[in-house]
């Protein structure tokens, strides 16, 4: 059947006149893309080989590996971090026993911001939303009994990535695992912190320099480790739509690529180790199409714009999580269903690694029971559903292919708009990106308030209910435990070694040298996160958000 079959066009026009005109409320995706009541071959655009191709082949629309999950399932992670390293270690071991194939570490806010647990300014936040890491001793305990040569670890850390990466390398060495064997990912996407999350410390220029340092270090010392996972997830959680999520993440990634190229690094030496962290939301087909479109756009950027020659550089590799923003405090069991649908979209969209948020997270960080249910969601889809038996099973759907094309066009157009404005850094500095996301977030809020966007339990089908029992609670005693542990480390370490290594770090930073090796030496001397961050603040300064962004 021809894509422009006159007989089909006439048949469709007759059907539409009889059944649609004036009878159906126009629909859109969550990102505002118009959705027709029916899709046919008339909606397909372009040749198969140019737009789709075979799985594992350029432009990778149908997947980055030839057989996808038939050859290897996605890495199953569960994002987790509890107040202390000891408590988190116990949870990781439980998850490991129950079938996770990768760990995903959640840090508390003080650690993310470069503070020690004994700093009076942040005492109320220690261990509240993740694990507190002050020194190498904490990282050693965090991975005690967990073989780092048999599991990969994802770290959601940005501003102080060099410190956390150095700690992981040091723990591996203490386990007898050489850096060459370590696998995992650091988020290390500082640009999105300036407009989507706020966990920044240093100004953009030195922050980008630190990312470049991790690129260089990993390329020679930790070759299997992914030094940057560009994060669309937090962009989406801030309120962006699907198009903005991918466009802004890609523009951030391009800043990092340009930074690495300015250092003289070969594109094909570091591009294969760039990965992405994305969100899966509730508009099922839009999410599937988003991931397929993203693969195609990224492949063309790397091949055509940057001239990468190695096919591995063209592959869009992504970890993703089900959305926290779609979870509700009302009727929390409904969140299990939301997580299942979002997980299904990720698998049908071809992810490489994923984590499922839990039913508790509309209230607090998850209990062990809720986390196990989230893990079982992945496992049931993987082992019972049959979805993994074939590659890209939604390919050929008139709707999915049309939506993939539209999303590709809109993502590219959004990127072009920002580049015309002077690029991503300028658009962050003048607040354009922040305003664009805020506008979209306000639209979503208005649509929920008006009932235009239905959220079960929130604006439709409400019930009277009490606060759920058995929620995880933050305990102030854990803060004291962590502070006492930190005091013991400070009393037992060689202070002269600490002072010496911190001074070496200071001199390397002042000289504009790669700071990874000096940080590693300071880490091994049990310098604290706060002490190392303080040295870097002295040299690089701190960033203050402009007051007139909005």
- Domains, the chain, ordered by start: 6-42 (no CATH), 48-420 (3.20.20.240)
Q: How far apart are the first and last CA of the chain?
A: 52
pTM of the model: 0.94
Asked whether the beta carbons of 386 and 275 are under 8 A apart, the reply is no
Distance CA 127, CA 471 (A): 16
Q: Is 240 helix (H, G, I), strand (E, B) or coil?
A: coil
Q: Which residues contact 262 (CB under 8 A, 6 or more apart)?
A: none
DSSP assignment string, 100-162: -SEEEEPBPHHHHTT--TT-GGGGGGTTSSSB---SHHHHHHHTTT--TTS-EEEE---TTHH
- For residue 468, count CB atoms less than 10 angstroms from its CB and return exposed for 0-12, middle for 13-18, buried for 19 or more: middle
What's the angle, vertex CA 228, arms to CA 226 and CA 234, rounded to 5?
Answer: 130
521: its two tokens: 């030496």
- For residue 39, count CB atoms less than 10 angstroms from its CB and return exposed for 0-12, middle for 13-18, buried for 19 or more: middle
Distance CA 126, CA 508 (A): 30
Asked whether the beta carbons of 62 and 303 are under 8 A apart, the reply is no
Distance CA 75, CA 102 (A): 6
What's the angle, vertex CA 230, arms to CA 199 and CA 401, rounded to 5?
Answer: 135
**Owner of token pair 């959004």:** 414
Distance CA 268, CA 270 (A): 6
Asked whether the beta carbons of 486 and 116 are under 8 A apart, the reply is yes
- Is it true that the peptide bond before 59 is cis, omega within 30 degrees of 0? yes
Give the model's pLDDT for residue 546.
67
3-state helix, strand, coil in the chain (%, to 5): 55, 10, 35
Over its length of 550 residues, how does the chain's per-residue pLDDT go in tens digits?
346 789 999 999 999 999 998 888 889 999 999 999 999 999 988 778 889 999 999 999 999 999 999 999 999 998 888 789 999 999 899 988 999 999 999 999 999 999 999 998 888 899 888 999 999 999 999 999 999 999 999 999 999 999 999 999 999 999 999 999 999 999 999 999 999 989 999 999 999 999 999 999 999 999 999 999 999 999 999 999 999 999 999 999 999 999 999 999 999 999 998 999 999 999 999 999 999 999 999 999 999 999 999 999 999 999 999 999 999 999 999 999 999 999 999 999 999 999 999 888 877 777 888 889 999 999 999 999 999 999 999 999 999 999 999 999 999 999 999 999 999 999 998 999 999 999 999 999 999 999 999 999 999 999 988 877 666 566 677 788 999 999 999 999 999 999 999 999 999 999 999 999 999 999 999 999 999 999 999 999 999 876 665 5
H or E element that contains 278: strand 274-280
Distance CA 85, CA 133 (A): 7
Q: CA of 135: how far to CAs of 132, 146, 522, 532, in Å?
A: 9, 18, 10, 10
Distance CA 169, CA 165 (A): 6
Give the model's pLDDT for residue 471.
61
DSSP assignment string, 349-418: HT-SEEE---GGGGTSSPPHHHHHHHHHHHHHHHHTSSGGGSSSTTTT-HHHHHHHHHHHHHHHHHHHHH
Residue 524 has, within 13 A of its CA and on its CB side, a CA count of 14
Give the model's pLDDT for residue 8.
93
Give the model's pLDDT for residue 548.
61
Is the dihedral angle over the CA atoms 423, 428, 432, 434 positive or is it negative? positive
481: its two tokens: 């435990």
Distance CA 406, CA 289 (A): 9
Query: DSSP alpha helices (H): ranges in 143-225?
Result: 161-175, 191-192, 204-220
Give the model's pLDDT for residue 508.
98
Give the model's pLDDT for residue 479.
82
Q: Which residues contact 542 (CB under 8 A, 6 or more apart)?
A: 201, 202, 203
**Owner of token pair 């466009």:** 247
**Owner of token pair 């300014």:** 121
Give the model's pLDDT for residue 547.
64
Distance CA 41, CA 393 (A): 17
């Amino acid at each position: 059947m021809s894509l422009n079959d006159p007989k089909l066009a006439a048949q469709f026009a007759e059907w539409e006149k009889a059944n649609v005109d004036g009878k159906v409320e126009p629909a859109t995706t969550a990102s505002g893309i118009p959705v027709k009541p029916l899709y046919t071959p008339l909606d397909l655009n372009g040749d198969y080989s140019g737009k789709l191709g075979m799985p594992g082949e350029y432009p990778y629309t149908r997947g980055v590996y030839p057989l996808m999950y038939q050859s290897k399932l996605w890495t199953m992670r569960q994002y987790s971090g509890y107040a202390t390293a000891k408590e988190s270690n116990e949870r990781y071991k439980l998850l490991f026993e129950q079938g996770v194939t990768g760990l995903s570490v959640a840090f508390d806010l003080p650690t993310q911001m470069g503070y020690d647990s004994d700093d009076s300014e942040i005492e109320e936040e220690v261990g509240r939303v993740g694990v507190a890491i002050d020194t190498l001793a904490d990282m050693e305990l965090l991975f005690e009994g967990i073989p780092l040569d048999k599991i990969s670890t994802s770290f959601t850390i940005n501003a102080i990535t060099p410190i956390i990466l150095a700690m992981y390398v040091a723990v591996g060495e203490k386990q007898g695992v050489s850096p060459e064997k370590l696998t995992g990912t650091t988020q290390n996407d500082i640009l999105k912190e300036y407009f989507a999350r706020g966990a920044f410390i240093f100004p953009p220029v030195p922050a980008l320099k630190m990312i470049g340092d991790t690129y260089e270090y990993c390329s020679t010392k930790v070759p299997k480790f992914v030094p940057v996972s560009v994060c669309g997830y937090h962009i989406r959680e801030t309120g962006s739509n699907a198009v903005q999520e991918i466009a802004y993440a890609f523009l951030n990634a391009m800043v990092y690529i340009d930074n690495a190229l300015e250092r003289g690094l070969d594109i094909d030496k570091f591009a294969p180790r760039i990965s992405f962290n994305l969100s899966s939301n509730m508009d099922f087909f839009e999410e599937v199409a988003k991931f397929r479109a993203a693969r195609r756009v990224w492949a063309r950027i790397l091949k055509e714009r940057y001239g990468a020659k190695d096919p591995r550089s063209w592959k869009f590799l992504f970890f993703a999580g089900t959305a926290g923003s779609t979870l509700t405090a009302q009727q929390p069991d409904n969140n299990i269903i939301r997580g299942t649908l979002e997980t299904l979209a990720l698998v049908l969209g071809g992810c490489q690694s994923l984590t499922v948020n839990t039913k508790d997270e509309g209230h607090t960080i998850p209990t062990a029971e809720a986390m196990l249910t989230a893990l079982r969601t992945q496992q049931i889809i993987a082992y019972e559903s049959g979805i993994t038996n074939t590659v890209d099973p939604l390919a050929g759907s008139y709707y999915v292919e049309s939506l993939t094309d539209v999303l590709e066009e809109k993502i590219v157009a959004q990127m072009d708009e920002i580049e015309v404005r002077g690029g991503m850094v300028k658009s962050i500095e003048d607040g354009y990106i922040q305003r664009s996301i805020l506008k979209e977030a306000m639209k979503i809020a208005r649509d929920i308030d008006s009932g235009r966007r239905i959220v079960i339990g929130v604006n439709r089908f409400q019930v009277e209910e009490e606060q759920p029992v058995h929620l995880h609670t933050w305990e102030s005693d854990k803060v004291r435990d962590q502070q006492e542990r930190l005091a013991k480390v400070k009393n037992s370490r060689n202070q002269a070694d600490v002072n010496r290594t911190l001074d070496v770090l200071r001199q390397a930073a002042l000289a504009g040298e790669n700071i990874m090796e000096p940080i590693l030496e300071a880490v091994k001397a049990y310098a604290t996160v706060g002490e190392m961050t303080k040295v870097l603040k002295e040299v690089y300064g701190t960033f203050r958000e402009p007051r007139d962004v909005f």
